[in-house]
Amino acid sequence: MSARQHSEREASGALPDSRQDRDDDAALNVQAYNALRERLLTGLYRPGSLLNTRPLAEEFGTSVMPVREALARLRSDGALEALPNRAFRVPVLREEVFRELVILRLRLEAAACECAAVRATAQDCREVASIYQRMLACYDDDLDEYLGEHRKLHFAIYEIAAMPLLKGLIERLWLRMGPLLRASSEGRILFDNTHHGAMVRALSASDPVALVSALRDDLVDSIEPICLYLRRLGSES
């Protein structure tokens, strides 16, 4: 960069190149992390899926470094495991680990639901109901889209609770559980919709007991299908 360009940058209040580059790299790291994290939360990747840096970088239209940093960060979150060839893999949970995660989800998400039920405004209820309607509209056609709306429904309720520390803990559990959502939904979407409809109605009625009960039904009914899925994966490995 010429001296004149430096002067023009300083006059405009722009950052020096090195600092600007660092900020750009940081932004790309965050974008890659958020994109991969959302895929895990919504169940786009199944247990055992391999995630390679270069193909993901090409898909995201970026260099390999932001993707590598994002994958390493997700590994530290417990959502991925590193392989010797520098690839990453979505873990296949042991059944006992899955059951422990369900217990933790029940406790934490029930707390969020109890608070959300008494805090929800009419506008909050309309927004959650709108997400539920989008779930109903797409479950026959696109499971990926359905699971995306499913994730939005749950977290729209947890957002209403206005407890960011609790919501952060719930998200960490979902990072571990997300890859199992597809297994629990395939062939069971009618049951899922019944439970989620009950959650929507309980929120609109400001009924914390009914909301927690519907959440519990949603989680408990998924235990056996997921355990069967994990046993099948274990027998194939």
Cα–Cα distance measured from residue 185 to residue 192, given in angstroms and rounded to the nearest whole number: 7
pLDDT at 7: 42
- Pairing relation of β-strands 50-51 and 81-82? unpaired
Domain ranges of the chain: 3-89, 95-236
pLDDT at 2: 37
pLDDT at 93: 93
Angular region, 78: left φ>0, alpha ψ -120 to 50, beta rest: left
pLDDT at 235: 78
**CA distance to 21, 30, 197, 218, per residue, from 150 (Å):** 37, 24, 11, 12
CA dihedral 123, 124, 125, 126 (to 10 degrees): 50
What pTM does this model have?
A: 0.84
Cα–Cα distance measured from residue 80 to residue 90, given in angstroms and rounded to the nearest whole number: 5
Give me the tens of pLDDT residue by residue for the chain, a chain 237 residues long. 433 444 444 444 544 556 555 555 678 789 999 999 999 999 999 999 999 999 999 999 989 999 999 999 999 999 999 998 888 999 999 999 999 999 999 999 999 999 999 999 999 999 999 999 999 888 777 888 989 999 999 999 999 999 999 999 999 999 999 999 887 776 666 667 889 999 999 999 999 999 999 999 999 988 998 999 999 888 776
Q: Are 54 and 150 in contact (CB under 8 A)?
A: no
Query: What tokens appear for 2 in the block?
Result: 């010429």
Angular region, 16: left φ>0, alpha ψ -120 to 50, beta rest: beta
CATH classification for the domain delimited by 95-236, as one of 1.10.10.350, 1.10.940.10, 1.20.120.530, 3.30.70.360: 1.20.120.530
* CATH, range 3-89: 1.10.10.10
* 54: DSSP letter: H
pLDDT tens digits for range 78-117? 999 999 888 899 999 999 999 999 999 999 999 999 999 9
The three-state DSSP-derived secondary structure of 105-155 is: HHHHHHHHHHHHHHHCCHHHHHHHHHHHHHHHHHCCCCHHHHHHHHHHHHH
